[in-house]
Structure 1
Amino acid sequence: MRKTVRIAVIAALFTLVLAGVAMAQEGGGLDSSVKSMIALSCGLGIAIAAFGGALGQGKAAAAAIEGIARNPGAYQKVFTPMILGLALIESLVIYSLLISFLLVFKL
């Protein structure tokens, strides 16, 4: 049963992805409603990425500070990976910002 559901989900996703290509039209420029929806989706994407990044950074920093408070001697072993983790979390938010810039300036 699970295999059948998995195959059905993959087929549905494949159909949804290719539907845009199959129904694509050669067209002129974008009308104002499409531009406004792109701008709205860019703003929403940045908002979701910033919210998720802030939650992740808060939890990572809280866990690191709690670990340092329990064992102050492990400061160097905890601090460096925490900073690296925070940088990687923030990079995802920056990637979202760059993708939004690409979409907006493509208009």
Structure 2
Amino acid sequence: MGVIGFGLGVIGAGIAIGLAAMGAASAMARQPEVQGRVFTVFILASAFTEALALIGFVVALIVR
């Protein structure tokens, strides 16, 4: 049962990172002068999302 929860968590994290990448690419295309700031925010958001996915993995292992 924990494996199903982890799978859903990973799918959610993948969708979130994909949407963030889409938004960052769109923002950089519209205003190239803010590319550095947008990229920094994107990397931070991706790291936090991956951290949540890893926490879900640890919880799935503990519950198992």
TM-score if structure 1 supplies the norm length? 0.57
Structure 1 residue ranges, 4+ long, deviating more than 6 angstroms after superposition? none
1:78 counterpart = 2:38: yes
- Unpaired stretches in structure 2, ≥5 consecutive residues: none
Question: Identity of paired residues, percent?
Answer: 27
Distance in 2 of aligned mates of 1:83 and 1:91: 12
Give the alignment's TM-score, normalised by structure 2. 0.93
Higher-Rg structure is 1
Gap runs ≥5 in structure 1: 1-40
SS, match of residue 82 in structure 1: helix
Aligned length: 64
Shift of 1:65: 0.7
Higher relative contact order (CA 8 A, sep 6+): 2
Per residue, is there more helix in 1 or in 2? 2
